[in-house]
Structure 1
Amino acid sequence: MKKVIYALILPLAVAGGLVFANREIKNEPSKKTAPKPPSAAEMKAELTQWETTLEGIKFKKWEASPAGKKVLASAAKIRNQVSTSSNMEAVVTSLSLPPGSRLGFGVMVRINGDDYILSLGLEKSNEFQQLHSLEVNDKIILRSHFVSYAPKYAYPIVAGDYVERDSKMIYKRAPQKGGC
């Protein structure tokens, strides 16, 4: 009986010793270095390389097309307000996004005579509850930090950070965790 117990304990002790011997000591500084961000020349080279791919060629053709020029001009109209994150007056034109869009929850709005997709993020439990009360032709005030565009969409995409209706906040994006 003792031999069986010793036979079981011995491999357990050896395995435990190997585990403790191979683990890293956490107090030592990590020997792995963080990758350097690419330089401007490297980024330009990557962009040039991407522009020669099939997707890059399609994007360049879209940018030169009338639809692409319209989207880029609309994005440029609000670029100053977006970069300063200042208030923009908007009117809700549709409560649904264009068919086939994969932007999460959002609505269509008109700012300064141009239509935009107001993307608010992936729909979660109660985060957008007050936004569901919006109706077509509601006047809202919104703030954003980012405007983007893609050939798939006929409108620029405004990332909504703050939405207000009748001087009452109805949405505010939660700050990112662990970010800058």
Structure 2
Amino acid sequence: MKKLVYALILPLVVIGGLVFANREVKNEPSKTAAPKILSAAERIAGRKKWEATPDGINFKKWEASPAGKKVYAAEARIMNHIRASTNMEAVVTSLSLPPDSRLGFGVMVRINGDDYILSFGLEESNEFQQLHSLNVNDKIIIRSHWVSHAPKYSYPIVSGDYVERDSKIIYKRAPRKGGC
């Protein structure tokens, strides 16, 4: 019986050793390496190239239009709060986003007389459950770290990180996993 077990294990060990001995050590860079960081000149050249495309031309027209200037002015008014991630008082003006929006879950708010889209992202879990209790004219405190814009929307888009109503936290974005 022992000889049979040794006879079966010995070829297994030999074959395993050969397999591990024949593995190649690959020192070449992986194909999914991090993208090369562009120099300032390369970034400027890339932007100029994009601005010559139809999308770039339309974006430049939107920036120069009254609607684009209005969006940029509204962004500038809250930029200090965004950079410092400080509290901003807001009033909920609508529980739905503009038609055909692809921002996920969000509401419309008014901050210091300007309207903004308060976007939270795709509704994949129950993390927005308490936000569904918001009503029009609710006064809330929000914090954000990001504001953006798009020609498709007539309002700046504020990313919601923290929402408080009546001194109770109703939403706080979870920290990113595996990031800094």
For Structure 1 versus Structure 2, the TM-score category normalised by the shorter chain is: 0.7 to 0.9
The alignment status of 1:178 with 2:171, answered yes or no, reads no
Percent identity between matched residues is 70
1:29-178, aligned counterparts within 5 Å? Answer: 31-32=29-30, 34-178=34-178
- Give the superposition deviation at 1:41: 1.7
Q: TM-score, normalised by structure 1?
A: 0.83
The one-letter code matched in structure 2 to 1:62 is W
SS in 1 for 2:144: strand
The one-letter code matched in structure 1 to 2:98 is P
* Pairwise CA RMSD: 2.4
Equivalence for 2:22:
21
- Give the superposition deviation at 1:171: 0.3
- Give the superposition deviation at 1:120: 0.5
- Report the number of matched residues: 166
Relative to structure 2, which stretch is displaced further, 71-80 or 110-119? 71-80
- Give the superposition deviation at 1:176: 1.1
Q: 1:165 to 1:38 in 2, by over 3 A?
A: same
Q: 1:24 to 1:67 in 2, by over 3 A?
A: same
- Following the alignment from structure 1 to structure 2, what is the Cα–Cα distance between the partners of residues 98 and 74? 17
SS in 2 for 1:50: helix
- Following the alignment from structure 1 to structure 2, what is the Cα–Cα distance between the partners of residues 98 and 41? 38
Q: Deviations over 1:76-110 (max 9, x none)?
A: 11111101111000000000000000000000000
Q: TM-score, normalised by structure 2?
A: 0.83
Q: Deviations over 1:19-52 (max 9, x none)?
A: 8734657xxx774464431122211111111111
The one-letter code matched in structure 1 to 2:70 is K
- Following the alignment from structure 2 to structure 1, what is the Cα–Cα distance between the partners of residues 77 and 69? 12
- Give the superposition deviation at 1:115: 0.2
SS in 1 for 2:142: strand
- Give the superposition deviation at 1:114: 0.2
The one-letter code matched in structure 2 to 1:91 is V
SS in 1 for 2:89: strand
- Following the alignment from structure 1 to structure 2, what is the Cα–Cα distance between the partners of residues 102 and 20? 53
